[in-house]
Chains A and B, each alone.
Chain A
Amino acid sequence: MDDPLSLLFLVAAATLRTATPLILCAMGGLFSERSGIIDVGLEGKMLMAAFFAGAVAATTHSAWWGVAAAVAAAEALALLHGLACITYRGNQVVSGVALNIIAAGLTVVWGTAWFARGGQTPALEGSERLLPLFFPRAGDNILVYAALLSVPLTWWIVTRTRFGLRLRAVGEMPLAVDSAGISVTWLRYRAVLLCGLFSGLAGAYIAIAQNAGFSRDMTAGQGFIALAAVIFGKWRPFPAFGACLMFGLLDAVAIRLQGVKVPGVGEVPVQLIQSLPYLLTMFLLAGFIGRAVAPRAIGVPYEKEH
């Protein structure tokens, strides 16, 4: 346990475990944001997905139905976000905040009515969970590999396909896309739905792979850390992936450093390490570390001229 190699393995595995939902969620957020739709509702989608994953897996005794339900739940919220932001040209931040609060309320309301355990779902075991594939100690279930694959996939879609080109264009200058005869609405809806898919997987991972069941508010701000990672990665897949790994590592280190005195520094408050993702992102946004430039049309509803 104490030799450096196994310690390294443990820290790396812990990093990957905590980074997985961040990576999936960040890739989802990236699609949405590159199309010009701000998504502060990642947290809500992930929470709703986690709840339905836990609830359906417990009811059907199948992890796969849990994953399917998670994706469906996240897609439902994604469609609501699309309806508000794309069809009705509402304020995208307001819509995202609303989804977060709705998810925080609905998961507990529904969970209490369904299972009568104060918002928790029953503990899952065996085939109700997604179990590690190769290394039992590392927790490498299928969604971890899905997260690792999602990064090159997102990169390929965004930079190498026609859809990706149009997606980037619609986030920068929707008018140009519209005048080329391509539907801005449909493009943005597809981006929002992709975001739902990925954040649904992230939620499922949290409830039925990383943990054994849903508990209230279990996403605990990870959706916002994923959003921070998107910004920190300057809206590009691989840098965002790097940011997720870094934030995951910080979390893994924070747990290990609890109560440990670092030579020369003394005890590092865990809370400081936990707030580093937010602080670092703020530093970046302030232009102190490079420059983060958002897609130009982000947050602006597209109004077609008649």
Chain B
Amino acid sequence: MTLSRRPLPAWADIVLLPLVNIALAFVTVGIIVRIIGVDPFHALSLLVVGAVGSPESIGYTLYYATNFIFTGLAVAVAFHGGLFNIGGEGQAYLGGLGCGLAILALDRYLPAWLMIPVGIAAAALFGAAWAAVPAWLQAWRGSHIVITTIMFNFVAAALMVYLMVNVLIAPGSMTPQSRGFAPSAFLPQMGGNALNLSLLLALACCVAVWVFLWHTPWGYALRTMGHNPEAAVYAGTNLRHMTMLAMCLSGALAGFVGVNELMGVHHRIVLDFPAGYGFAGIAVALMGRNHPLGIALAALLFGALQQGGAELAFDIPQITRETVVLIQGLVILFSGALVQLPRPWLQALFAFRRP
């Protein structure tokens, strides 16, 4: 196999190759849906209608997309620093805990204009703190961040179950959930359903991440560390501090999922609200090529899949919501691990066009 036959033109590398990768993922899903005995094109049309067919479904699509933006950005910021943060799930969970604790402690005293920023800040703080431990272990003790962030997902889940069942459960409640927040901690809704102001926070984060990565000295140092750690050291970057910074930002971004879910929708602390968004963030970041604009677009697509997939599962009983999980996995496979798979095909195609 000769990968370096003739380089592809730049546009093909940046636009065509990723599109082919994503197409491969969707074709695979189509084949699986066909095997199950459902016409993939019929399923696709139901999915599209379910995702964008009415103002209400568009609202849900955007609400899901908000979560994907947060976790996608979280993966991307760490990735630019050469760090692979698989702990988005746990950081989102702890972010929600932080936000919930701050609200449970203060919602009787603070007005909304103060309570909401405090809740958001607490989510960021707890998310960042949960990411800081693996970061510290990597920077000072040399333990591999992939393994430690995975392990911390499980520890976070166990911690939350303990806290919800034993400590934070509302008196008299049968299900493990906290007491409801006071209305001062409700994020204003946009359009009447789950969509809330978190979407604006997510878009602001996109801009902030873009400015941070490409227009500040810290972002420059972070990217240098990701490309070539030795060069970064030579340029005077403290890799330890940079690792901490990258992971804390990453954890804070993941923690905002808690803001969207708890302050925006559930209005109490509940179990299992991260629901795979942390892992899906890897797919979003890969698909968006780790650029905020790409991530926003990829998040929109994943949000549409999530909402359309739910509607689809409602319409066709053979199809479950997990089809969406399958698509996420296949996108990670084809646009992450197998990213080079179609390159020889494209190279052959271009060689054929211009002999």
Contact = CB atoms under 8 A, between A and B. Distances in A.
Contact of B37 (A113, A269, A275, A285): A113
Interface in B264-284: 276, 279, 282-283
Contact of A112 (B147, B159, B320): B320
Given A40-B146, A94-B282, A109-B36, A84 B322 contact: no
A296 to B, nearest CB: 13
Contacts of A272: 158, 162
Interface string A16-27: 000000000000
Interface in B287-333: 317-320, 322-330, 332-333
A274 B158 contact: yes
Interface string A101-117: 11111101110110010
A227 B319 CA distance: 32
Interface of A: 38, 40, 80, 83-85, 87-95, 97-106, 108-110, 112-113, 116, 118-119, 221, 224, 227-228, 231, 269, 271-272, 274-275, 278-279, 281-282, 285-288, 294, 306
A210 B183 CA distance: 48
Interface string B51-71: 000000000000000000000
B154 interface: yes
Contacts of B40: none
Interface string B149-177: 01110110011011000100000000000
B336 A282 contact: no
Given A40-B150, A90-B339, A285-B144, A271 B161 contact: yes
A110 to B, nearest CB: 7
A1 B279 CA distance: 45
Contacts of B154: 221, 224, 275, 278
Interface stretch (B117-125, B135-143, B207-215): B135-143
B161 A105 contact: no
Nearest to A225: B154
A228 B147 CA distance: 8
B36 A113 contact: yes
A104 B322 contact: yes
A95 B328 contact: no
A278 B332 contact: no
The 6 nearest A-B residue pairs measured at CB: A105-B326, A101-B329, A95-B337, A285-B143, A102-B329, A105-B325
A176 to B, nearest CB: 22
Q: What is the interface residue range for chain B against chain A?
A: 35 or more
Contacts of B319: 109, 112-113
A98 B158 contact: no
A91 B148 CA distance: 18
A97 B86 contact: yes
B322 A109 contact: yes
A83 to B, nearest CB: 7
A112 B318 contact: yes
Contacts of A287: 141-143
A28 to B, nearest CB: 17
A112 B86 CA distance: 29
Contacts of B338: 83-84, 88, 90, 95
B322 A105 contact: yes
Given A90-B336, A109-B320, A109-B326, A97 B279 contact: yes
Nearest to B317: A116
Nearest to B38: A113
Contact of A98 (B137, B318, B322, B333): B333
A98 B155 contact: no
A88 B328 contact: no
A109 B337 contact: no
B32 A109 contact: yes
Contacts of B84: 93-94
A286 B140 CA distance: 9
Contacts of B37: 113
A80 B336 CA distance: 13
Contacts of A98: 329-330, 332-333, 336-337
B286 interface: yes
B268 to A, nearest CB: 21
B11 to A, nearest CB: 22
Contacts of B162: 269, 271-272
Contacts of A95: 333, 336-338
B126 to A, nearest CB: 18
B180 to A, nearest CB: 25
B341 interface: yes
* Best-buried of B1, B36, B337 by chain A (most CB within 10 Å): B337
B193 interface: no
